[in-house]
Amino acid sequence: MSVYSIFSGENLSNLDPLNAEEIKRILQEMATPVFEKMNIHSTKNEYVWSSDYNEEGIKKIVRFSYRGTTGHLLIGTNFKFMPMINTKQKIVFKKDKLHLFDSTKKIIDSKKDISLWNEKLFVTSLEKFLHKRIDKIERYFSNTTTIQQNIDIALKQLEDSDESYKTHHPEVNYILPFLHAKLGEKEKAIQLMENHLTVTETAPREILDYLKKL
């Protein structure tokens, strides 16, 4: 047993993982009121909260994700103009999907996750993110309101050594062309997308045609 487990209260004697319904209930009771003060509201997906789109076609998204006894809050943006490819290789637009995002651990620079070891630890660890560290989440969101700010975030992620960014979907290299296109930098956007399509086959050529018309 690790020293962290002893001092955090995580040991086998008090292991009592929450089920999905318990997790959703606590999230609605604790997280929803906090996010609503930021004009970020519950959606049909009980693990997702979102704002309305602003004048640049950007909305704020928060998503709770968990596996086993470990949970994360993912914080980021969704772009109204960002097409995705479904399993039938058709262009679709998903209004509640995180396009460009970070985990709260990265935003807050914390080594600790949200614990689902038992209800007490879940409430305690979730509360730290929602109250003691909410200012850092608000600050992150305040820097995501324009297209240029999101380009800056995307570029920082590409330069970051954190391997987790490479597993993001959509890929950052897929997002950047659309952001540049919205700024009117069409030639740069097309070149970036052509480079991306040369490396990967995850996006059909229809995406390039859509980008040219954006």
Q: Read off the pLDDT of residues 16-28 as tens digits, 9 standing for 90 and up.
A: 889 999 999 999 9
Q: What is the pLDDT of residues 38-95, one digit of tens each?
A: 999 999 999 999 999 999 999 999 999 999 999 999 999 999 999 998 888 788 999 9
3-class SS at 84?
strand
Q: What is the pLDDT of residue 202?
A: 63
**pLDDT surpassing 50 at residue 123:** yes
Q: What is the pLDDT of residue 1?
A: 40
44 CB-side CA count, 13 A = 3
Q: H or E stretch including 65?
A: strand 58-67
- Torsion over CA: 102, 104, 110, 112 (sign): negative
Cis geometry, peptide bond prior to residue 170 (ω within 30 degrees of 0): yes
3-class SS at 184?
coil
What is the Cα Rg of the chain in Å? 19
- Torsion over CA: 173, 177, 183, 187 (sign): positive
In the chain, domain spans: 3-145, 160-214
Chain centre to alpha carbon of residue 96: 10
Pairing of strands 48-50, 41-42: antiparallel
The Cα–Cα gap between 167 and 195 comes to 19
- Measured N-to-C along each axis, helices 20-36 and 119-127 cross at an angle, to the nearest 10 degrees, of 20
Nearest alpha-carbon partner for 51 in 107, 187, 177, 42: 42
User: 114 pairs with which residues across the strands?
Assistant: 71
Q: What is the pLDDT of residues 154-176, one digit of tens each?
A: 999 999 998 989 899 999 999 99
